[in-house]
Amino acid sequence: MTDAKLLTGCFTAIVTPFRPDGSFDEPAFRKLVDWQIAEGVNGLVPCGSTGEAATMSLAERVAVVRACVEQAAGRVPVIAGAGGSDTMVAIETSHAMAEAGATHLLHSSPAYSKPPQRGIIAHFRAVADAARIPIVLYNVPGRTASNMEAATTLALSEHPNIVAVKEASGNLQQVSEIVRARPAHLAVLSGDDPLTLAVVAAGGHGIVSVVSNAAPRAMAQLTAAALSGDVAAARRLHLRLTPFFAAAFVETNPLPIKASLAMMGRIGNVLRLPLVPMDPAREPLLREALAAAGALGQ
């Protein structure tokens, strides 16, 4: 059994719908929030990579988080993306997201500058000292160009304001090292949809999911089954979703997941440059995977 105080379950890294003119489609977003919660997800993560935060101004990101908080209305946690490569800017963003009503902050390790592990530790400690709400660390080497080592995560977990880590290194050995030595207050969440079952089986606490944007019920059920020890049910859902796990990342996230939601009639397939809509040649593969996951027709 997991500690009820931990962040556990399936948390959707929710997309940001845009209108054809590129502006935030707030009505579509609010409908997505309601649908996600009704389908059983355990939390929402707006303004992350999937939410295209890198192409949005701070004012726009605050508007998205505020809409998410208002629509969620306390039903689930709202973990707002607030990361940045400039520590002072990351602190300012954290304050803005707290004022918008977020319950937690998601902070990726600094990108581009590639600080050494001691620099990553200094960055996160400064942010955690200043933040008014709890922090979820985010290790995503594919985007930051540096790995946050298990020892670094564990050193940071000593800070009382750091309550979880989203691990997207794809390295199960590293995740296992964190799980083995973590303090009781630290939740370990997978950042890779295909590894949800494996991470929970290793002692992790859930997933921050891209796939749950289009298949929220299935991902929430998979995670719940794994956490409860119902391996057979979790395995069935994992295998049913496996084609979609691949198709959802056939091009850079969030291109395929936005195309999926457009196929489902939930949002327009609009992205901000330099992102562009998914290659139409991949649509049959994506549609087939969506159907296999049971997501079309929802």
Active site residues: 138, 166
Q: Which helix (DSSP H) or strand (DSSP E) does residue 208 occupy?
A: strand 206-209
Query: Which alpha helices (DSSP H) does 4-131 contain, by range?
Result: 26-38, 58-72, 87-99, 117-130
3-state secondary structure of 277: coil
